[in-house]
Amino acid sequence: MSSTSQMRLGAFFNPTGHHVASWRHPRAQADAGINFKHYLEITRTAERGKFDMVFLADNLGVRQAHIEALSRSAQYIANFEPITLLSALATHTTHVGLVATASTSYNEPFHVARKFASLDHLSGGRAGWNLVTSGQENEARNFSREKHYEHGERYDRAREFARVVIGLWDTWEDDAFVRDKDTGQFFHPEKLHNLNHRGEHFSVLGALNIPRCPQGRPVIVQAGGSEDMIGVAAEFAEVIFCAPLTLEAAQRFYADIKGRLAQYGRAPDEMKIMPGLSAVIGRTDAEAQENYQHLNSLIHPVVAREILSMVLGNVDLTPYPFDGPLPDTLPRSNASQSIFQQVTEMARRENLTIRQVATRVAGARAKAVIYGSPQTIADVMEEWFRKDGCDGFNIMPPFLPGGLDDFVDLVIPELQRRGLFRTEYEGKTLRENLGLKRPASRYARTAPTASQSPLPRAASAGG
């Protein structure tokens, strides 16, 4: 639990929502991915609810699935590029943080540093970068590669990438630009520091061609939970979006990663851990259960079967009838053995047809889904928060805009009543609202020296 004893909240926007059938829901916007008015509405709703930030995930390509199932799904198929979208949203909002995903595998650090610095200026200090390494093979093939980088290699690259980006954000001191019309001095030459980075993966001269940004550095976010990722996160991440399924798993993750921060001279409070939470809300628990069943009833059987097939390790289920049982013998793959066992045992125990088991599995998609009244949902959130499972949550509305309206109108007031969530923003920048310090430039205390030239060579900041 954070020392401030109030939760941090992010609103994680999949365009139509997080439930696999969200786009078919009567209170969802089917063309959400390219509908600016929709994004404006949900971002304003998040700001009305005093969310710390809105968050856009991203994949670099159309995801791969059997075409019959893919053509009935809206997830990661057709949507805006996130930084472009957040830049437009920045001009219509005032307080909510704006976090976009950018991959360290298929970008250059200079691009990422420059774009997020621009977003930070445009938004008055509300930008955040969700650092991902990308996970899908098809993304590699959009970037002139046959195969994705191996796991360890992509995190090595990510580590160096992050160091370069942070170095670039520091290349101008805060007060470098005087723009003095009388003297003709545009900037102080001694306050410009080239990066001169030469590393294993990148070679970057710097400086960045934009002044140091309002937050000093945009907030660095990381999503995921593998061992490699945690190693990188302990060094750089200020917010973690993770997906533990139980309170015990959340507590283990929280203690583990916070315990590693000291190695990098960081205090536990310098990182906010925010598990994803998909909440299906009703005015009562019974109504919430009906709402959840309604959502699941919208899952097309072909989509459900595709998800079940993935969960079981890409087993081909197409030869078997929807209304018959799962076959007794299924080939075992490299996929999670425990999930395979849990699902096949559940199917046999309850005598479920392929259609029934697929719908169940697809409705949850290995995520923590809770359904209930606002009080029930607030109870779960309070327990996780008070028992050191998290510093807040990344709320994943099952459908949009309706699911976010419900959260803001019904659950936020309940959290506020319990003193667990703010009623007004504390600050103007994302850092201020998250309770994160504004980092000083590594050069801030460097006294100007007479020997520095107007085209400085400057110290290497990379590494």
Tell me which residues touch ligand FMN (CB under 6 A). 57-59, 101, 132-135, 223-226, 228-229, 241-243, 276
Least distance in angstroms from the C-beta of 82 to ligand FMN? 8
When the beta carbons of 101 and 373 are compared against ligand FMN, the nearer one is 101
When the beta carbons of 248 and 316 are compared against ligand FMN, the nearer one is 248
Instruction: Quote the tokens at residue 114.
Output: 């420059």
Least distance in angstroms from the C-beta of 40 to ligand FMN? 21
Least distance in angstroms from the C-beta of 393 to ligand FMN? 11
When the beta carbons of 134 and 373 are compared against ligand FMN, the nearer one is 134
Least distance in angstroms from the C-beta of 251 to ligand FMN? 17
Long-range contacts of 70-76 (CB under 8 A, 24+ apart): 72/300, 72/302, 72/303, 73/20, 73/303, 74/15, 74/16, 74/22, 74/23, 74/30, 74/32, 74/33, 75/14, 75/20
Least distance in angstroms from the C-beta of 96 to ligand FMN? 18
Least distance in angstroms from the C-beta of 15 to ligand FMN? 13
> How many CB atoms are closer than 10 A to CB 156?
18
CB 117 within 8 A of CB 220: no
When the beta carbons of 276 and 401 are compared against ligand FMN, the nearer one is 276
CB 373 within 8 A of CB 288: yes
When the beta carbons of 80 and 443 are compared against ligand FMN, the nearer one is 80
CB 279 within 8 A of CB 381: no
3-state secondary structure of 328: coil
Longest dimension (CA), the chain: 84
When the beta carbons of 230 and 288 are compared against ligand FMN, the nearer one is 230
Least distance in angstroms from the C-beta of 188 to ligand FMN? 39
Report the alpha-carbon distance of residue 248 to residue 121 in Å, rounded. 40
**Helical spans, DSSP H, in 60-207:** 67-70, 82-90, 109-123, 137-140, 151-169
Report the alpha-carbon distance of residue 143 to residue 282 in Å, rounded. 44
When the beta carbons of 149 and 443 are compared against ligand FMN, the nearer one is 149
When the beta carbons of 58 and 290 are compared against ligand FMN, the nearer one is 58
CB 60 within 8 A of CB 433: no
Least distance in angstroms from the C-beta of 413 to ligand FMN? 26
Scored b (16 or more CB within 10 A) or e, 334-351 reads eeeeeebeebbeebeeee
